[in-house]
Structure 1
Amino acid sequence: MEYERIIGLETHVELSTNTKIFCGCPIGFGGEPNTRCCPVCTGQPGALPVLNRAVVEYGIKAGLALHCSIHHHSSMDRKNYVYPDLPKSYQISQYEVPLCYDGYLTLGDGTKIRINRIHIEEDAGKLIHTENAVLIDYNRGGVPLIEIVTEPDFRSAEQVREYLERLRLIMKYLDVSDCKMQEGSLRCDVNVSVRPKGSEAFGVRTEIKNVNSFSFIERAIDSEYKRQIALLERGEKIVQQTLRYDEEKRAVEPMRSKEDADDYRFFPEPDIPQIVVSQQEIDAIKASLPELPAEKRTRYGKVWGLSDYESEQLTKYPNIAKCFEQMVEETKEPKLCANVMLTHLFRFLHTEEEKERAEFPLSVQEFSVVVKHISRSALSNQFLKQIVDTMMEQRKPFDALFDLKEFQVDEGETERAVMIVLEQNEKMVADFKNGKEKAIGGLIGQVMRATKGRADAKTVEKLIREQLT
């Protein structure tokens, strides 16, 4: 029997507000344990939470970017469970009425992944397991999160990965989160079930908790898919449970039986008033949204004539897109700028962090000078790699390193080279005259070789056509 996967995601995105969701403690990764917490974070008797309004604004931004509707009135709830990293023995979250609902994210092939809801909540502390003890760091407790819950619309691990990559990029463009998976600011719970192909009924689902890398997520889904099919083929039942993925074993392991909402005994949070969001506030936040990656890709293709590949690569990192657009603004040469950025400058950014920062030794303006020389035909494209490499290595602008005349030949020298090439290549000349348009490419190449790449290819083509027509 052939089975299909049914996958849904719950993605936790840590918000990059200055302070925590219910108190004034600062937010930051790392640092001395238990130095960024207070009586509110640690659930001390009598300590009352006060909602950080910036968390609501960030949540609305995320919701609007994902085509969600926004509830004008939403509320906080207590999610009750006992675990050492949760000192109050409940988490303040949203259950009955979330901040955002009914959105979607579109994948590259047009598949719409429906988003059921986005709600705001507090993060828990962090357990640190040592050989002899379990230590608790409450610095992370009370850090604001949004949880983005999809419908079970995924049918492959590849779709899940693409969704998460696109979601992460949107959050970065919005500047609501740095989405560093290695630091836990983007974490994912994956719900997996299987069913016979063609069936409409859902199977028993399991949940893989806190997967924090794209490759781990793909492998975890594949592992659980195979495990569930093996159980069914042996005639055994799939048990609803919570799992963890063990990368060393490349397998999922049970953590506990899967909880339902009833297990958490949700009830309204009495210490936090209802969250009221006016339409005016929603409209103001919507107007402040930046151009998002999908919109940029469309504009790069339609307005600037870039390929899908170029548009995709240039929008992968917000700061790269910013540098690229600055170059285009200064030069009005989007195709040339895309070539400089993707073919030449990208070679000097070796890590993801370097690409995120897009920090080059020289300013964008210095590379724009080179693009302008090429666009004015004062400089051949063939020298681009040599020039960029030298500028980057010596950290000096073009004018401090080169004399433009080094790369140029005068028109008289170009004309002489053209005449010599035409005399020496009678067959190509005859082919061109007989209508073989491609033959002119060979003639241009011969002239460029004769001038060591210093002639302008457009000028060479013009001179050849003048001689042969």
Structure 2
Amino acid sequence: MTTAELLSFDDALAAYDPALGLEVHVELNTNTKMFCGCPATFGGEPNTQTCPTCLGLPGSMPVVNGKAVESAIRIGLALNCEIAEWCRFARKNYFYPDMPKNFQTSQYDEPIAFEGWTDVEVPGENGVETFRIEIERAHMEEDTGKSLHVGGATGRIHGAEYSLVDYNRAGIPLIEIVTKPIMGTREKAPAVARAYVAHLRELILGLGVSDVRMEQGSLRCDVNLSLAPTGSGQLGTRTETKNVNSLRSVERAARYEIGRHAAILAAGGSILQETRHWHEDTGITTSGREKSDAEDYRYFPEPDLVPVAPSREWVEELRGSLPEPPRERRARLQADWGFSDLEMRDTVGAGALGLVEETIAAGASPQAARKWWLSELARRANEQNTEISALPITPADVARIQALVDDGSINDKLARQVFDGVLAGEGTPDEVVAARRLAIVSDEGALGEAVDRAIEANPDVAEKIRDGKVAAAGALIGAVMKEMRGQADAGRVRELILERLS
């Protein structure tokens, strides 16, 4: 199926109602793995953070990470879930090279958190619309290893010359958050999917239990989608697009699958229940494998782990420690910063709320922080087809660049060149200014000489200024700025021009 064979979005919605189901996997930021003492840090040399337990070697015995249980409860409470008084782990059996035990230790029919809900806001032409997302479950499990397929054109196993496996990630603590079917969203379905994942990311970041960096895979979303005839109130056959790792792609994948499903159904075909791969470069999904149902995984209770039974006193203690809810936090920040509703909506929509907050904390004004993240940096993220948070620049860098503007060392135009250097890995903002010689020229002698040359080269303009047409000074200012590569103080240049010609 290619993009040319899709039914248009409007035509698809005229005939079918979409239903979403979102499964979000969150890697917890514990120091060690879920069932062993191996470090859970990101980016280590391949296969250096392993032991007999996370490699599934005979005779090794797992032990539950208590901090991971606490994080799971905090996530469940933040999602208004019931917290189980007693739950246990199960073995989910399947074979894949990145699953060293040939089963995944997970939770099946007894999750630690269940029956919750959360509200998400989606901007529209008529203002913000709120959608309630019902949470079926949030359960604990371990992550798999990571396969690298070498050779071939797609990076997938098909066509690869050989594959490598890094087991460092095997055993990392995961929380999987599963929604109930999300219906009634109609044309807003893709936007609701994106808003939900963004909301979840903001909520979990506030809890401090994960860095939720989608570009590193610490938050991944599986997008389930089905279509049914308009008004039927039924659920169609679903597909599951696996491991979508950006907000933009969550929305695009949902929109693409709506068009693909509709084209198949309109032609009299049927949907195959399967997993699908999302391709960021082409914006399409391709078939992965036929989707298994629960019985295919042959779940059975994990015999090597005792049940988890959090006391009610502990649960209530954790409930009392929850941070400010995202909606209340946004309202407070908006009031503190003096943003309009539109400015705040755009900041949240760009995924820049936390970045702006950190930039302000580093010393920038709210409007300056918002300006750089939502204009200059959002544009660059869009050009690179990445999330704004994935750009190699920190809020402290942005605040420092604004400080250089504020103290007159550079202007906004030069600041953009500083952003170029920082993003290119040339160093800190001060190092980039020094290396590229971007500091504004404040030497009166050099400015005066440049002004004199501009006056001499433009006698007609100079005469207009002498005749009282001060607005004509703009042409001479432009000439001086061009000669000095934008590194002159335009205000001081204007003063010098008027002094010489008055």
Among 336, 341, 354, which residue is 1:318 paired with? 354
Shift of 1:71: 1.1
Report which stretch shifted further, 319-328 or 127-136.
319-328
Q: Distance in 2 between matches of 1:5 and 1:167?
A: 21
Is 1:31 the counterpart of 2:44? The answer is yes
C-alpha distance 316-285 of structure 1, shift in aligned 2 (>3 A): farther
Contact 1:34 1:137 in 2 (8 A): yes
After superposition, what is the alpha-carbon deviation per residue over 1:137-171, rounded to whole angstroms, capped at 9, x for unaligned? 10000001100101121531111111111111111
Match of 2:459 in 1: none
Is 1:122 the counterpart of 2:150? The answer is no
Q: 2:69 is paired with a residue of what secondary structure?
A: helix
Q: Counterpart amino acid of 2:94?
A: Y
Q: Distance in 2 between matches of 1:117 and 1:111?
A: 18
C-alpha distance 362-207 of structure 1, shift in aligned 2 (>3 A): closer
Q: Distance in 2 between matches of 1:345 and 1:118?
A: 33
Is 1:342 the counterpart of 2:375? The answer is no
Match of 2:20 in 1: 7
Q: Give the share of equivalent positions with the same residue, in percent.
A: 40
Match of 1:358 in 2: 395
Contact 1:317 1:356 in 2 (8 A): no
Q: 1:107 is paired with a residue of what secondary structure?
A: strand
Q: Distance in 1 between matches of 2:146 and 2:62?
A: 20
C-alpha distance 322-292 of structure 1, shift in aligned 2 (>3 A): farther
Is 1:185 the counterpart of 2:205? The answer is no
After superposition, what is the alpha-carbon deviation per residue over 1:369-414, rounded to whole angstroms, capped at 9, x for unaligned? xxxxxxxxxxxxxx97969959x9997xxxxxxxxxxxxxxxxxxx
RMSD over aligned Cα atoms = 3.4
Q: Counterpart amino acid of 1:20?
A: K
Q: 1:215 is paired with a residue of what secondary structure?
A: helix
Among 90, 93, 99, which residue is 2:103 paired with? 90
Contact 1:310 1:338 in 2 (8 A): no
Q: 2:396 is paired with a residue of what secondary structure?
A: coil
Contact 2:84 2:112 in 1 (8 A): yes
Match of 1:207 in 2: 240
Report which stretch shifted further, 30-39 or 284-293.
284-293
* TM-score, scaled to structure 1: 0.72
Between structure 1 and structure 2, the one with the greater Rg is 1
The within-5 A match list for 1:372-387 is: none
After superposition, what is the alpha-carbon deviation per residue over 1:314-336, rounded to whole angstroms, capped at 9, x for unaligned? 894436435647979xxxxxxxx
Q: Distance in 1 between matches of 2:97 and 2:273?
A: 24
Contact 1:317 1:355 in 2 (8 A): no
Q: Counterpart amino acid of 1:220?
A: A
Q: Distance in 1 between matches of 2:179 and 2:89?
A: 20
Contact 2:360 2:399 in 1 (8 A): no
C-alpha distance 235-173 of structure 1, shift in aligned 2 (>3 A): same
Q: Distance in 2 between matches of 1:194 and 1:345?
A: 37
Is 1:299 the counterpart of 2:332? The answer is yes
Q: Distance in 1 between matches of 2:95 and 2:372?
A: 55
C-alpha distance 354-2 of structure 1, shift in aligned 2 (>3 A): closer
Match of 2:94 in 1: 81
Q: Distance in 1 between matches of 2:325 and 2:407?
A: 31
Match of 1:288 in 2: 321
Match of 1:404 in 2: none
Match of 2:155 in 1: none
C-alpha distance 38-191 of structure 1, shift in aligned 2 (>3 A): same
Q: Distance in 1 between matches of 2:81 and 2:17?
A: 28
Among 190, 212, 228, which residue is 1:195 paired with? 228
The within-5 A match list for 1:35-434 is: 35-108=48-121, 109-131=129-151, 132-153=161-182, 155=185, 156-300=189-333, 306-312=339-345, 313=347, 316-318=352-354, 320-321=356-357, 324=360, 337-343=365-371, 352-353=389-390, 357-360=394-397
C-alpha distance 319-247 of structure 1, shift in aligned 2 (>3 A): closer
Report which stretch shifted further, 281-290 or 39-48.
281-290
Q: Counterpart amino acid of 1:120?
A: M
After superposition, what is the alpha-carbon deviation per residue over 1:19-51, rounded to whole angstroms, capped at 9, x for unaligned? 100001001222211100100011000000000
Shift of 1:107: 1.5
Q: 2:134 is paired with a residue of what secondary structure?
A: strand
Contact 1:318 1:356 in 2 (8 A): no
Q: Distance in 2 between matches of 1:149 and 1:345?
A: 32
Shift of 1:308: 2.4
C-alpha distance 344-160 of structure 1, shift in aligned 2 (>3 A): closer
Q: Distance in 2 between matches of 1:352 and 1:125?
A: 25
C-alpha distance 193-385 of structure 1, shift in aligned 2 (>3 A): farther
Match of 2:32 in 1: 19
C-alpha distance 346-134 of structure 1, shift in aligned 2 (>3 A): closer
C-alpha distance 353-87 of structure 1, shift in aligned 2 (>3 A): closer
Contact 2:359 2:396 in 1 (8 A): no
Report which stretch shifted further, 137-146 or 274-283.
274-283
Q: Distance in 2 between matches of 1:150 and 1:57?
A: 21
